[in-house]
Structure 1
Amino acid sequence: MTDQPDRSPRSPRAAQIVAAAREVLEEHGRDALTMRALAERLGIRAPSLYKHFRNKEAVEAALVEDGLAGMGTALHAALRTASPTGRVRALLAAYRGHALAHPGLYRLTTAGPLPRAALPAGLEEWAGRPFFLATEDPHLAQALWSYAHGMVVLELDRRYPSGSDLDLTWEAGARAFTAQAG
């Protein structure tokens, strides 16, 4: 499965609300993402939002959908252009780049329980499939994703000691997983 699954339909106004929610999320974090903040961002009254989303959780689910779709698109694209021996390296570079470029969305998408029931069928599997395609082993794929996720979270949280060369750390992980996948 390389084609992205169908996405949830959104009216132009719902798409505008999700875009505003993403701006709030990236600028101020998840705690600042409220229906009131969204309404203020859009210059409308908060009750108007409920015509498009039943609650804040529905807005967050739409953001998670966008997060999975965006990450999946980046990962699938990385694999399409990678050599057979460079698949893990390309996948890790794409994962890191996408996550660091969208830290608020990344955290929302990957922290806490996933709202699977609110997501389009097949989206989660499609977004994660590149890890399997790069390793050809389901357990190694999960280990690779866990490595990438842990590295990104630690990098976002600035938990590495100053002077750490994270590019070399990512490269060491890519070499280790490539050896296991080969």
Structure 2
Amino acid sequence: MSTQPELTPLTPRAAEIVTVARELLEEEGRDALTMRALADRLGIRAPSLYKHLPDKAAVEAALMERGFAEIGTALYAALQAALGSAPRGEPVDAVLRAYRRTALAHPNLYRLATSGPLPRQRLAPGLEEWAGTPFFLAAGEPYLAQALWSFAHGMVILELDGRYPDGSDLDRTWAEGAHAFTSRPAR
């Protein structure tokens, strides 16, 4: 499998700040992630943060990188486990299950990494593509892979937002989606 690109290097203090930022994000959500709140958690004054990271966008970019790295790592592991003697369709199902599990485990990090404009110029080169490649490897075609990711992302967001009716069998909905992406006729 493909090797993960190196994340943007951080000094030890900047890495500590990003770790605390993630804790704040995961516990309280994106709106709570302010430089003042981050400084308070670290027991320092907000201007001191700028000695280590130039702005809030840099903190968010570092968090996004970690989110992409975690999603990519989970997807590659699921794909690896599903390849080989697996029946047709198993890689798609495995990638979808891993994506859902990872996103639901860290909903605020997931939202940060996947909503709004993506500051690609601030991210480690090749990281976004690396993290998404398992969708291509599972689907076998770039547009189908993009549709597969769109399905997965939409399902995750709707699930996180509680938009499905009570009693919905979301496991079955995910399974039906996987089946739809693996049972279509070849073009």
TM-score, length-scaled by structure 1? 0.97
Match of 1:97 in 2: 101
Match of 2:32 in 1: 32
Larger helix percent: 1
- Uncovered stretches (5+) of structure 2, i.e. residues with no partner: none
Match of 1:79 in 2: 79
Match of 1:43 in 2: 43
Q: Which runs of 4+ in 1 moved over 2 A?
A: none
Q: Please tell me the residue identity of whatever aligns with 1:105.
A: L
Alignment of 1:150-169 (within 5 A): 150-169=154-173
Provide, for residues 118-145 of structure 1, a one-character-per-residue CA deviation record: whole Å limited to 9, x for no partner: 0111111100000000011000000000
- TM-superposed deviation, 1:170: 0.4
TM-score, length-scaled by structure 2? 0.94
Provide, for residues 92-148 of structure 1, a one-character-per-residue CA deviation record: whole Å limited to 9, x for no partner: 000000000000000000000101000111111100000000011000000000000
Match of 1:6 in 2: 6
Provide, for residues 1-58 of structure 1, a one-character-per-residue CA deviation record: whole Å limited to 9, x for no partner: 6100111111111111111111111111111100011011111111111011111111
Q: Which deviates more from structure 2 when the two are superposed, residues 76-85 or residues 114-123? A: 76-85
Alignment of 1:139-158 (within 5 A): 139-158=143-162
How big is the alpha-carbon RMSD for the aligned residues of Structure 1 and Structure 2?
1.2
- TM-superposed deviation, 1:181: 8.0
- TM-superposed deviation, 1:157: 0.1
> Helix, strand or coil: the match of 1:162?
coil
Q: Please tell me the residue identity of whatever aligns with 2:145.
A: A
Instruction: Tell me the distance in 2 between the aligned counterparts of 1:174 and 1:8.
Output: 34
Match of 2:127 in 1: 123
- Uncovered stretches (5+) of structure 1, i.e. residues with no partner: none
- TM-superposed deviation, 1:180: 3.0
Instruction: Tell me the distance in 2 between the aligned counterparts of 1:181 and 1:46.
Output: 57
- TM-superposed deviation, 1:62: 0.6
Q: How many residues align?
A: 182
Q: Please tell me the residue identity of whatever aligns with 2:155.
A: M
Q: Please tell me the residue identity of whatever aligns with 1:113.
A: P
Q: Please tell me the residue identity of whatever aligns with 2:110.
A: Y
Match of 1:52 in 2: 52
Identical residues among aligned pairs (%): 68
Match of 2:118 in 1: 114
Q: Please tell me the residue identity of whatever aligns with 2:99.
A: Y
Match of 1:62 in 2: 62
Instruction: Tell me the distance in 2 between the aligned counterparts of 1:76 and 1:22.
Output: 23
